[in-house]
Amino acid sequence: MSESIKVVRNLRDLRKATSKWRQRGESIALVPTMGALHAGHLALVKLAKKKADKAVVSIFVNPTQFGPKEDLSRYPRDEAGDLAKLTAVHADLVWAPSVEEMYPDGFSASVRAGSAAKELEGEFRPFHFDGVATVCTKLFNQVTPDIAIFGEKDYQQLAVLRQVVRDLDIPLKLIGGPTKRDKDGLALSSRNAYLSEDERKIAPTLHAVISALAKDVANGADVRSGVTKAKRKLTAAGFQKIDYLEVRDAQTLAQPDNEADGRDLRVLAAVWLGKTRLIDNVAV
Ligand code: AMP
């Protein structure tokens, strides 16, 4: 049986572990997660192992990035399962602070996310990215990684955190890992566990539709009519509500002035299937 992974739950023990590595001149990569780990998270951990001597995975369901009507209380949690998976991919350490350790009594300062946070998710989840920016800045200061790895699955989050790291001079390199998908195209997500059997059958249509739109736009199709067509397809497939489906500049996430001008573009979408909100994105 393989040895089980080291789990630390307070900052003192974390600093002890990381300073030992630092003294030996070893580099550290951090993969922040909210647990309920799947193959998408594990791919990021494998990437971390390739990029640095030590891979730290944080597991923290961050209350401040959930809105009052969101799924914080029912968010899936499975620490024992997570630890077994992380042991199998040879992560070096798990940082699993409690909410009280992360936000002790009197906690009050925060980081405000920048311009990349304004639209798309930001419109539907107004304080979400401030919560993400604050907790990630704390994680960066706690773990002091050389590299932090995030998934392209949360494409806007990656853009927001690139701004935070750049604008606040945080000394680490941010790396984005590609989205892992099920065979039918559905992006792996902890929230897929919420889907009923019937909803699970509809869910991969999201990837199919945004991929088709990306292909059409790449071939010079008119963006506006392409988006209208894609939305119609989603509704016909059974998605009850489309929060957004947009073609944006892949770097700034701004509306491209002239969409057909050969710029680097990204299709991003958030849709509802019953009580589950799914997000996905693809390159054009
Ligand atoms: P979460 O636990 O949902 O906060 O995700 C933790 C990290 O895993 C984030 O950087 C996500 O973007 C990334 N991630 C989530 N799903 C996937 C996926 N299907 N493929 C690759 N990375 C993912």
* pLDDT tens-place string over residues 199-251: 999 999 999 999 999 999 999 999 999 999 999 999 999 999 999 999 999 99
Average pLDDT over residues 50-71: 97
Residue 1 has pLDDT above 60, yes or no: no
pLDDT at site 257: 72
CA distance 63 to 146: 26
Residue 130 has pLDDT above 90, yes or no: yes
pLDDT at site 258: 62
Average pLDDT over residues 37-66: 98
Nearest CA to ligand 1 atom 10: 150
| 154 C-beta closer than 6 A to ligand 1 | yes
Average pLDDT over residues 179-190: 98
Domains contained in the chain, CATH given = 7-177 (3.40.50.620), 190-283 (3.30.1300.10)
pLDDT at site 262: 61
Question: Could you tell me the distance, in angstroms and rounded to a whole number, from the CA of residue 101 to the centre of ligand 1?
Answer: 23
Ligand 1 site-directed mutation target among 34, 44, 152, most atoms within 8 Å of CB: 44
Ligand 1 site-directed mutation target among 30, 31, 33, most atoms within 8 Å of CB: 33
pLDDT at site 263: 77
Position in ligand 1 atom list of the atom nearest CA 34: 2
Average pLDDT over residues 48-76: 97
Residue in 218, 238, 226, 232 with CA at minimum distance from that of residue 278: 238
| 40 C-beta closer than 6 A to ligand 1 | yes
C-beta separation of 156 from 120 below 8 A:
yes
When the pLDDT of each residue in the chain is averaged and rounded to a whole number, the result is: 96
Please report, as a single letter, which amino acid is at residue 227: V
In the chain, % of residues over pLDDT 70: 98
Strand 265-273 with 276-283, pairing: antiparallel
pTM listed for this prediction: 0.97
pLDDT at site 3: 72
Residue in 86, 110, 75, 71 with CA at minimum distance from that of residue 6: 86
Whether 41 is a known active-site residue: answer yes
Which of 108-117, 140-149, 178-187, 252-261 is the least confident region? Answer: 252-261
| 266 C-beta closer than 6 A to ligand 1 | no
pLDDT at site 2: 55
Average pLDDT over residues 165-176: 98
pLDDT at site 261: 59
Position in ligand 1 atom list of the atom nearest CA 43: 21
Residue in 232, 251, 252 with CA at minimum distance from that of residue 242: 232
| 150 C-beta closer than 6 A to ligand 1 | yes
Report in angstroms the alpha-carbon separations of 72 from 5, 63, 96, 180, 256.
26, 7, 17, 24, 34
Residue 131 has pLDDT above 90, yes or no: yes
Question: Could you tell me the distance, in angstroms and rounded to a whole number, from the CA of residue 277 to the centre of ligand 1?
Answer: 15
| 41 C-beta closer than 6 A to ligand 1 | yes
